[in-house]
């Protein structure tokens, strides 16, 4: 099977569900032998972007670095799945314009839901000022204006969101996931 490279870029607030959906999509594609890599913002900050902080400049640098690596992978036929808050619209839009097969996924849950989940305990810390420049609390998040996909994670299950992403990619002929599945079962 000749697979197409692409950049599946998941953006959204902390706790919105980017990592969960990224790994859910990755797992399903890997089972069908797609070659891919997940670039997780939290992980990237421990090596590729080690030392960068959370000013606008540093966040944009972080996103550009992730975009650069994702593009290298994509151009070699790999599916690069990025899970990063990537709060600033301009730098996301730049990546969309300068790369091929860039699919922006807005992983959207209301701030109150993300705060309630508080997966990493960071919202509690941000509210009392122990964590500064926290997106959604003390730092901006600029919603995508024209995302290819919106995953409404407060209304749908992770599995439903994963399937929504796969259906979109199939519909755009970026993957042959369901077609192959039908061939196998028929």
**Residue 158 found at the interface with ligand ADP (CB under 6 A):** yes
74 is catalytic: no
Among 6, 7, 16, 26, binds ligand ADP (CB under 6 A): 16
Measure CA of the first residue to CA of the last residue in the chain; give whole Å.
18
- Give me Rg for the CA atoms of the chain: 16
Taking contact as CB under 6 A, which single stretch among the options 1-9, 64-72, 132-140, 155-163 is the one that binds ligand ADP?
155-163
Is residue 112 near ligand ADP by the rule CB under 6 A?
A: no
Choice from 11, 14, 86, 164 touching ligand ADP (CB under 6 A): 14
70 lies in the site for ligand ADP, by CB under 6 A: no
In sequence order, the 6+-apart residues with CB closer than 8 A to the CB of 161 are 17, 21, 24, 107, 151, 152, 153
Strand-pairing partners, residue 151, are: 107
Annotated catalytic residue within 14, 49, 86, 138: 86
Q: Find out whether 134 and 123 touch, Cβ atoms under 8 Å.
A: yes
CB of 98 vs ligand ADP, minimal distance in Å: 25
Name beta bridge partners: 32: none
Given candidates 11, 20, 62, 86, which one binds ligand ADP under the rule CB under 6 A?
20
Stretch that binds ligand ADP, among 7-15, 26-34, 68-76, 90-98 (CB under 6 A): 7-15
> CB of 131 within 8 A of CB of 125?
yes
The answer to whether 91 and 98 have CB atoms below 8 angstroms apart is no
Q: Which residues are catalytic?
A: 86
Q: Which residues bind ligand ADP (CB under 6 A)?
A: 12, 14-21, 83, 107, 117, 119, 153, 156-158, 161
């Amino acid at each position: 099977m000749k697979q197409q490279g692409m950049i599946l870029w998941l953006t959204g607030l902390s706790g919105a569900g980017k990592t969960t959906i990224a790994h859910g999509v990755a797992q399903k594609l890997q089972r069908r032998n797609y070659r891919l890599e997940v670039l997780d913002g939290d992980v990237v900050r421990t090596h590729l972007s080690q030392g960068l902080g959370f000013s606008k400049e540093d966040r944009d640098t972080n996103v550009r670095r992730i975009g650069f690596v994702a593009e290298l992978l994509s151009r070699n036929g790999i599916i690069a799945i990025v899970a990063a808050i990537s709060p600033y619209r301009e730098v996301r839009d730049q990546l969309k314009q300068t790369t091929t097969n860039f699919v922006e996924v807005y992983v959207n849950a209301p701030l109150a839901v993300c705060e309630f989940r508080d997966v990493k305990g960071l919202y509690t810390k941000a509210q009392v000022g122990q964590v500064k420049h926290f997106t959604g609390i003390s730092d901006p998040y600029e919603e995508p204006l024209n995302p290819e996909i919106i995953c409404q994670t407060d209304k749908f299950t992770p599995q439903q969101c994963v399937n929504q992403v796969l259906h979109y990619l199939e519909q755009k002929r970026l993957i042959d996931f369901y077609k192959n599945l039908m061939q196998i079962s028929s």
